[in-house]
Structure 1
Amino acid sequence: MISAAVRPFALALFRGQADPPPVRTGRLTAPRAPRWLAVLLPFQRVHLALVADLVLAYVLFVGTLSESGSWNEESPLPVNDGLLPLPALTVALPLMLRDRLPLAAWRTVLALIPAYLFVVGALRPAEDMSMPYTMPFIVTYTLVLYSVAVRCARPITFAVWVVSVLAMWIIDSASMPIGTVVVTVTILFGYNVRIRRSATARLVEEERRTQLALGAQLVLEERARIARELHDVVAHHMSVIAIQAEAVPMKAAGDAAQLEAGLAEIRTLSLEALTELRQVLGVLRDEEGRSDTAPQPGLDRVDELVANARTTGLTVRVERSGSLDGLPPAVGLSAYRIVQESLSNAMRHAPGAAVTLALTRDGDRLRLRIANGPGTAPAGAPGAGQGLVGMRERASLLGGTFQAGPVAGGGYEVAATLPVAAAEVPS
């Protein structure tokens, strides 16, 4: 208990350290020196507040030294001339230290104040002794206290306040009340500035963390978008290529012409897959997000998907209703990918099935329905379920709805509604 009470005083008087000086802003900083003058200067940028402290220290030093000399000449009991600089050092040296070392500046005042009071008390005229402190000393001590309150922790600041009040009581109890008011107001003002600076620093740090978190979120969203695109492209084309590679030899039955035609079809599908992959990965190669690849696919290319699906053995019937032209790029791409993924799922899980693809434009809504019956061949291995997640995310990003699930008779149905007038969403 006692050590906890004594510790702030030990820190204030001996071991404590102040916070580092605040970061200098351009508002209080002199401009850089010209290049030809920079070689003559020890520094190229000067903080104006530090210059003001040095100028004030010089003015107070010269003024106090001159005043002490005048008093010594008029005093009936002059002191040794070697003691005359002591009051001047007491008011000037702490000002030179307070910017970098505020606690050291305060300790310097405490160390020099006995010599200051001795010389001033011996030389100062009796009519001026109503208060033992001169105006330069009051200015210096007030500025030093302000620096301590701004740059030191609360326990140290409190200890400095207590020591200052006790010192005033010991030196001159008559001037203690007004001195206590001056010291208290100065320390409270400095401490309030410290709190505001701390709050501002915390706010800046929170804003920095928020920006970092936002940047990380954008990166994750971009990764998810790219992963979704890659999944749709690879899953569809690889499914078609795999089924074709298995079916072509069986259909050819040794016929070289049919085998060659089937392999050409596989090559065409592979080139289409590579083209779409280049479109997706093009944005990764462009630092500014631009890409000179072809536009992303839309519903105008649904017939290509249908043709690819039919080559794998699916029977696809397409139903169109309403005008499908003029769709926003984000809506067209999302609709294309949903149809692509749905047909890929039908190829893998219901080979040879009959599929109904319905595209309906209903005012400001685009409705998609892809339904397939049971397959006529064994289904492939189940996937990881990322396709359904991707389709649901695409619909959700546009403010639409998505539903998928089995239907009676062993088939499966995917239904999505996309707002045509939705705000443009990055694909």
Structure 2
Amino acid sequence: MRRRGRAVIEWAWGAARRTRERTAEFVSHPVAAIRRNVEQLPFDYPPSVIIAVDLAVLAVAIAASVQRHNYFPTALPILAVILTYAFGPLYAFLGVLPRPLMLGVFAMAAEALFLAQPVTGDFAPFILVATAGEIAAIAPKRVSIPVTSAMMLELVVFDSIGHLSEGMLVYSVGVAFGWMAGLMLQYQRRFLYQERDYQEIRAAQAADEERRRIAREVHDVIAHSLSITLLHLTGARHALETDRAVDEAVEALTDAERLGRQAMADIRRTVGMLDARPGTRAPEPSVHDLPDLIDDFVRAGLRVRYTGTDDLTAVSPAVGLALYRIGQESLANVVKHAPGASAEVRLSVDPAAALLTVDSTLPEGRSEHRGSGMGMSGMRQRAELLGGRMTVGPYADGWSVRVCIPLAPGRAPSALSIAAQPDPIVEEST
């Protein structure tokens, strides 16, 4: 018993201390105190909406009290006004949360006090209308429906004893509509939260796709640059081992250094896409840069021949970037998996589709190699994202990579069927 008494005393002492603190804050900064108290409510509605509804209910209660001036000096209307807005001071100074069921009980008690003194054109039933909407907006239907039904029953009871002068049916319908308005607000809040969750999921998916895209870009840049750099280094080593002119070795090392620096710049630019502004990005390579790409491989010692269409105006930047990267990865794979091989790159563009073919020979003693790393999957994904198709596999005595990307969706099937047809054997070029 002593422990219980001590606990009660400690609770009462703490409540009194909190009340003093809240009262002092309200006296010194009333507006800030009201806003802070409203923001701490667990109802997830903007403070302005909650304050506006409470002020509207208070205004209705005061109007209903003024209507009963003929009953003064009786204190029933004043007590009804206090009950209507009792939860404001209770929460502000005592920290008592306005529970939905208690809101309904207080509103019905205030309504009973008002209807005990009937007047013509009574404003008092609108207290029930607003309270039914408040409860429906913050409580589940298993709570709001019984409370709303009890409010309507209260109007029926007072009408049956003659204390509701007129409009019982209208007031009852108003209470029902107030409940419906509150329920719609609750559904709107729920759907808003769902939409926020969906936006977070879509943002995470977009971030994952951007990371995968940047990973493919970095892979393509590194594979291309390292392949050509290794070719230059191999040429320099051969030049030094065979006592050929040192100038050739120096030239090969200079090209390797240039490509290494270019690769580092490309990697920095690609990784910089993570936080760079759109206006500061350097232009991406396109299909117009394919000849320069071929020249880099030729200077590095790879025997490759290029045949392309002159008119490339129908190729969009996205398709051009995909064709460039696929050609870059295909030639890098030739250097990596078939040293000493030769290759031929062919690009044909018509109004329907763009077709890129990279054929390479297989040196003697080399087995067919089917790529299965990021390079192959990245090339295939680039083509499929643009509605195209890529085929990779052996042909005659060599290896072929073919990709067809539609430029006009309505005419794409014919181009894709052309891409599926086998090409004749390509003669090795020097």
The verdict on a shared fold, with TM-score over 0.5 as the criterion, is: yes
Partner of residue 251, structure 2:
261
Q: Following the alignment from structure 1 to structure 2, what is the Cα–Cα distance between the partners of residues 194 and 188?
A: 10
Structure 1 residue identity aligned to 2:58: L
The separation in 2 between residues aligned to 1:113 and 1:51, in whole angstroms, is 17
2:265 aligned residue (262, 275, 285): 275
Of residues 50, 54, 59 in structure 1, which corresponds to 2:58?
Answer: 54
Instruction: State the match for 2:384 in structure 1.
Output: 396
Asked whether 1:290 is paired with 2:279, we answer yes
TM-score when normalising by structure 1: 0.68
The Cα RMSD (Å) is 4.0
Find the counterpart in structure 2 of residue 8 from structure 1.
Answer: none
Cα gap change, 1:246 to 1:282, in 2 (>3 Å): same
Stretches of structure 1 lacking an aligned partner (at least 5 in a row): 1-17, 29-45, 70-80, 125-130, 423-427
Retained in 2: the 8 A contact 1:349–1:382? no
Aligned to 2:355: 367
Letter in 2 for 1:68: Y
Look at both structures and tell me which one has the larger radius of gyration over its CA atoms: 1
CA contact (8 A) 1:318 1:358 kept: yes
1:143 and 1:397 map into 2 onto residues whose CA distance is 54
> Are positions 1:67 and 2:70 aligned together?
yes
Shift of 1:401: 2.5
After superposition, the C-alpha distances for 1:198-232 in whole angstroms (9 at most, x for unaligned) are: 22122222322232222222222222221221111
Query: How far off is 1:371 after superposition?
Result: 0.7
1:369 to partner: Cα distance: 0.8
Does residue 416 in structure 1 map to residue 403 in structure 2?
A: yes
CA contact (8 A) 1:365 1:417 kept: yes
Q: Higher mean Cα deviation, 106-115 or 270-279?
A: 106-115
> Which residue does 1:32 correspond to in 2?
none
Cα 1:397–1:224 change in 2 (3 A) is same
Given residue 94 of structure 1, which amino acid in structure 2 is its aligned partner?
Answer: L
TM-score scaled by length of structure 2? 0.68
Distance 1:259 1:162 in 2: 95
Deviation digits for residues 144-179 of structure 1 (CA, Å, limit 9, x no counterpart): 455445544333344435656787898886559999
Distance 1:389 1:164, change over 3 A: closer
Conserved 8 A contact 2:368-2:394? no
Name the structure 2 match of 1:198: 186
How do 1:23-422 and structure 2 match up within 5 A? Answer: 23-24=46-47, 47-64=51-68, 66-69=69-72, 84-85=74-75, 87-97=76-86, 101=98, 103-108=101-106, 135=122, 138-141=125-128, 143-160=130-147, 174=161, 185-253=173-241, 255=243, 256-286=246-276, 288-291=277-280, 293=282, 295-311=283-299, 313-324=301-312, 327-376=315-364, 384-409=372-397, 411-420=398-407
Secondary structure of residue in 2 paired with 1:60: helix
Alpha-carbon distance in 1 for matches of 2:65, 2:119? 18
Q: Which runs of 5+ in 2 are unaligned?
A: 1-40, 92-97, 410-430
Partner of 1:39: none
Aligned pair count reads 357
Q: Separation in 1 of the partners of 2:212 and 2:218?
A: 10
* Residues 1:204 and 1:361: Cα distance change in structure 2 (over 3 Å): same
Deviation at 1:233, TM superposition (A): 0.8
Q: Give yes or no for contact 1:150–1:190 (8 Å, CA) kept in 2.
A: no
Q: Would the aligned equivalents of 1:233 and 1:273 in 2 still touch at CA under 8 Å?
A: yes
Question: Aligned to 1:297, what secondary structure does the other structure show?
Answer: coil
The aligned residue for residue 20 of structure 2 is none
Q: Deviations over 1:376-423 (max 9, x none)?
A: 5768998652212222222233333321112233x210111233468x
Greater CA drift, 347-356 or 203-212: 203-212
Matched residue SS, 2:280: coil
Partner in structure 2 of residue 425 of structure 1: none
The alignment-based identity, stated in percent, is 26
Q: Which moved more, 1:92-101 or 1:230-239?
A: 92-101
C-alpha spacing 1:268/1:260, structure 2 compared with 1 (3 Å): same
User: 1:78 — aligned with what?
Assistant: none
Corresponding position of 2:30: none
Whole-Å Cα distance in 1 between the matches of residues 348 and 263 of structure 2? 27
